[in-house]
Amino acid sequence: MQIDAAFVHGKVVTMDLRGTVAEAVAVAHGRVLAVGRTDDVLDLAGRQTRIVDLRGRLLLPGFTDCHTHFHSYSLQESGQVLDLRGARSLDEALSMIAHRAEKLSPGEWLQGGRWDKNQWPDDRATSPKRLRRGGDFPTKEALDTVVPQNPAFLKSKDGHSAWVNSAALDIAGITAETATPPGGAILRDSTTGEPTGVLQESASGLVRRHIPEPTLPRIREAIRDGMRAANALGVTGIHNIEGPDVFEAFQLLESDSELTLRVVSYVPRASLDDAVALGLRSGFGGAWHRLGGVKLMLDGALGSQTAAMLEPFEGTDNAGLLEMSEDELYELACKASENGLNIAVHAIGDRANHILVNVLERLAQNEIGVGARHRVEHAQHFAAEDVQRFGRLGLIASMQPVHLCDDIAIAERRLGGRSAGMFLFRSLLRAGARLCFGSDAPVESIDPLAGLHAAVARQRRDGTPPEGWHPEERLGMMEALHAYTAGAAHAGGNETIAGSIEPGKLADFAVLSHDVTALPADELRQARVEMTVVDGETVYDAAA
């Protein structure tokens, strides 16, 4: 038989179990046919075969980002919603907002956000009306000055707080009398009880449900742009966490042969009963799009100080928010497990992770869902004894190393000495946990090379701190690559077809400018993705 493509004269790090490194790969019908020496692969080539000379460069399995909100990422990537990540002060944010607000039509919602109050200097003393509660959160009054008419709903960088203006509060009918929903917080004036303009966790839904939903064609259009951007960074697969509309959009993109990413979809808790009623099980679907399971939220996030902690954040009596009790989580976990659905549970604070380990331990003891690929999203902060329990259960920690860059300062300030319990890559691995990595895009850049750098150097992009943050938790490059490839495939349940370069597996590759497996950590930032191949087809080529 004739092969469709031959990738030759490279360094092929296959990520298979034996750690095979080869020179060349033969591809036929979107799958790997052979891996080996250049001469042997060229022997399989015919006149129609596309020969790609790698010129010594590194060829890896394509990266899978194990935690994305891809439609949101796509909207942000294409500039369709406001992006405040660059704002270094409240004033800077407000002028960016004002600029965008000018372009709104009457009644149109101002959306987007990703503002990060942790990056803003504390100017409470000079303007008490603009920042509230710990001198941190911005107010509706500040937002009203630049968006007086249109409703505005602006998410924080971590997505766990929403900054809204008076028009949005009016539409949602939120006043001093509004009850706080369970698992949420409405920040209020301590004397009048008036909402100050920040809604956290479940409370943001009070406003969000009044924002018109985008249409399916608009979602598809955005995702097309997003896929191009992700492919250009070597991403060939995602584990995506979004609602039924995006789940449907990926199905339509697949049926029109437009997907250039492998998608494993995790649907929200609100869809659990529907999935059970329909008999949908994890793994349903095919090589392009499959159901991963159900995403559950257990706590908030560090940047909003809503992560559930065993002890309060430093200098406060706030120990964060739990979205549900241990028993409620156990009930949901049983229901999902008994119906063949994996759960992906968001847990950031040490209290959330403690509760989650309790629940998964109980499931194991009661032999419910044996062999399920339940996973913990973020798994950011642990009490020491829970790391061992986590590992003994062989649980999957779905982590985003790149979060570390911004979290160093937040953790030092909010957790003090407890920050040593953050991002325990090495300890979790040593205890027996399985790692898979992602970005949480659009919270952070979807670029896997940024994540790899954070995992192996434990530094910000600028190389600080020079010795690495809690350097004993650094990973080796092969361990970090594993979490983006083979570990990702295991977590998504598609390890028989993805995650490594082996005969019979999908021909999804990334070609890098530098051999990152041999590069010192401080030179890693020079590396670029130069080519991305999905299903044997080149979907990105820097030289083209």
Q: Which residues bind Zn ion (CB under 5 A)?
A: 440
Please, which residue, 159 or 197, has the CB nearer to Zn ion?
159
- Minimal distance, residue 68 CB to Zn ion, in Å: 8
Tell whether omega for the bond before 503 is within 30 degrees of 0, i.e. cis.
no
Which single residue brings its beta carbon nearest to Zn ion?
440
- Within 13 A of 149's CA, how many CA atoms are on the CB side? 8
User: Where are any strands of DSSP class E within 140-298?
Assistant: 152-156, 161-164, 184-188, 195-201, 235-241, 262-268, 289-297
Q: Which of 428, 346, 356 is nearest to 388 (CA)?
A: 428
For the chain, helix, strand, coil in percent to 5 are 35, 25, 40
Please, which residue, 444 or 502, has the CB nearer to Zn ion?
444
- Minimal distance, residue 285 CB to Zn ion, in Å: 21
Residues 6+ positions from 207 with CB-CB distance below 8 Å: 153, 162, 164, 168, 169, 171, 172, 174, 199
3-state secondary structure 454-516: HHHHCCCCCCCCCCCCCHHHCCCHHHHHHHHCHHHHHHHCCCCCCCCCCCCCECCEEEECCCC
- Minimal distance, residue 295 CB to Zn ion, in Å: 9
- Minimal distance, residue 158 CB to Zn ion, in Å: 9
Element (DSSP H or E) covering residue 82: strand 82-83
Tokens of 215: 């249409």
- Minimal distance, residue 377 CB to Zn ion, in Å: 7
Q: 289-297 and 342-347 as β-strands: parallel, antiparallel, unpaired?
A: parallel
Q: 24-28 and 31-36 as β-strands: parallel, antiparallel, unpaired?
A: antiparallel
Please, which residue, 285 or 442, has the CB nearer to Zn ion?
442
- Minimal distance, residue 241 CB to Zn ion, in Å: 6
Please, which residue, 440 or 508, has the CB nearer to Zn ion?
440
Is 303 in contact with 158 (CB distance < 8 Å)? yes
Please, which residue, 158 or 535, has the CB nearer to Zn ion?
158
- Within 13 A of 270's CA, how many CA atoms are on the CB side? 6
Please, which residue, 386 or 440, has the CB nearer to Zn ion?
440
- Minimal distance, residue 346 CB to Zn ion, in Å: 7
- Minimal distance, residue 345 CB to Zn ion, in Å: 12
Distance CA 133, CA 121 (A): 14
- Minimal distance, residue 398 CB to Zn ion, in Å: 10
Crossing angle of helices 244-255/70-77, nearest 10°? 80
Residue positions counted in the chain: 544
- Minimal distance, residue 340 CB to Zn ion, in Å: 24
Please, which residue, 438 or 499, has the CB nearer to Zn ion?
438
Please, which residue, 477 or 488, has the CB nearer to Zn ion?
488
DSSP conformational letter for 109: P
Please, which residue, 157 or 490, has the CB nearer to Zn ion?
157
Please, which residue, 201 or 440, has the CB nearer to Zn ion?
440
Count the neighbouring beta carbons within 10 Å of the beta carbon of residue 401.
Answer: 27
DSSP conformational letter for 535: T
- Minimal distance, residue 244 CB to Zn ion, in Å: 17
DSSP conformational letter for 9: S
Distance CA 436, CA 68 (A): 13
Please, which residue, 406 or 440, has the CB nearer to Zn ion?
440
Q: 137-138 and 131-132 as β-strands: parallel, antiparallel, unpaired?
A: antiparallel
